[in-house]
């Protein structure tokens, strides 16, 4: 996709983001801050959403607004993304992101919620739910197009290849070039110009340091080994996902003992491309938790 034809997020949509899904910083002490976007209210369980490696909190806008009349919806910028303080180690693991998430939820006074992880965010979400001391704070876990990671011993060669490819792309293209050339891969061929614009906009706002840490999580994580003990889980992915295809997501669903929920006419960034379908799925999860 060339810069001459790349879709642009309209100014009115950016204003809607600022007004309806605003970002604020939550101080966690010792100079650590996490940026969070939030909308909605309600007396039921909050939804807490974790984005993937090439995205950010703003990507949840469409889905969040659809659910804002019935639930409090929060989305973080992961450590090293947006205005969120990076983790201190060069090669963080899922447990490190999970610890930061628990500290954030403590600061927000959220004792129980539904946790939603997309792609790389699924690795963080599973690790947070697996935490024996605090796993009970999650009434349900939703994994959208989950990345399995390459941390299993049998995938060492794949991990080395993916790390080298990602780092080379970053060095050669930079963040802006990656957003121009790679963002379309996250969507189906039939995605709307609006969805394409939002995916590209979010990817263009990555920070190199945070992205490098996320590469290490992708290459060192092992979702199948880190899945939590039995709890309510839903696994879904776009029917046209080429990044974490349905066959791979079905392995995660099978390990969780649940069927895979397909999201029609959607690629990897399923909640951006089909926010209404994902909102319906999450609404069903909230209903089940309230029953």
Q: Is the pLDDT of residue 87 over 50?
A: yes
* Mean pLDDT (whole number) for 106-129: 97
Q: Is the pLDDT of residue 291 over 90?
A: no
Within 8 A by CB and 6+ apart from 71, the residues are: 40, 42, 44, 45, 46, 47, 286
- Classify strands 73-76 and 113-118 as parallel, antiparallel or unpaired: unpaired
* Coil vs helix vs strand at 80: coil
Contact 8, 197 (CB under 8 A): yes
- What is the token pair recorded at 65? 């607004």
- What is the token pair recorded at 12? 């009115």
CA 134 vs. chain centroid, Å, equals: 20
Q: Is the pLDDT of residue 2 over 70?
A: no
Domain boundaries, the chain: 11-290
Q: Is the pLDDT of residue 83 over 60?
A: yes
Q: Is the pLDDT of residue 1 over 70?
A: no
d(CA 102, CA 129): 10
Q: Is 149 left (phi over 0), alpha (psi -120 to 50) or beta?
A: left
Tell me the CATH architecture of domain 11-290: 3-Layer(aba) Sandwich (3.40)
């Amino acid at each position: 996709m060339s810069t001459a034809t790349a879709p642009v997020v309209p100014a009115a949509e950016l204003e809607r983001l600022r007004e309806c899904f605003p970002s604020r910083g939550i101080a966690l002490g010792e100079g650590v801050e996490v940026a969070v976007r939030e909308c909605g209210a309600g007396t039921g369980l909050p939804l807490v959403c974790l984005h993937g490696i090439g995205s950010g909190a703003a990507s949840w806008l469409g889905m969040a607004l659809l659910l804002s009349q019935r639930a409090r919806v929060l989305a973080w910028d992961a450590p090293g993304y947006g205005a969120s303080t990076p983790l201190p180690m060069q090669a963080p693991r899922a447990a490190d992101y999970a610890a930061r998430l628990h500290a954030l939820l403590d600061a927000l006074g959220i004792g129980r919620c539904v946790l939603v992880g997309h792609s790389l965010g699924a690795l963080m979400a599973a690790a947070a739910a697996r935490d024996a001391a605090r796993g009970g704070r999650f009434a349900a876990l939703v994994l959208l197009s989950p990345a399995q990671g390459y941390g299993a011993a049998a995938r060492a060669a794949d991990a080395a290849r993916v790390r080298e490819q990602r780092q080379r792309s970053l060095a050669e293209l930079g963040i802006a070039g990656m957003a121009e050339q790679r963002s379309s891969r996250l969507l189906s061929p039939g995605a709307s110009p609006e969805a394409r614009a939002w995916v590209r906009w979010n990817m263009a706002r990555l920070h190199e340091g945070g992205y490098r840490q996320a590469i290490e999580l992708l290459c060192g994580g092992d979702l199948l080994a880190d899945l939590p003990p039995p709890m309510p889980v839903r696994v879904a992915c776009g029917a046209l996902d080429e990044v974490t295809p349905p066959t791979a997501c079905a392995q995660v669903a099978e390990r969780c003992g649940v069927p895979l929920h397909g999201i029609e006419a959607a690629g990897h960034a399923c909640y951006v491309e089909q926010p209404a379908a994902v909102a319906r799925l999450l609404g069903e999860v909230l209903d089940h938790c309230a029953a």
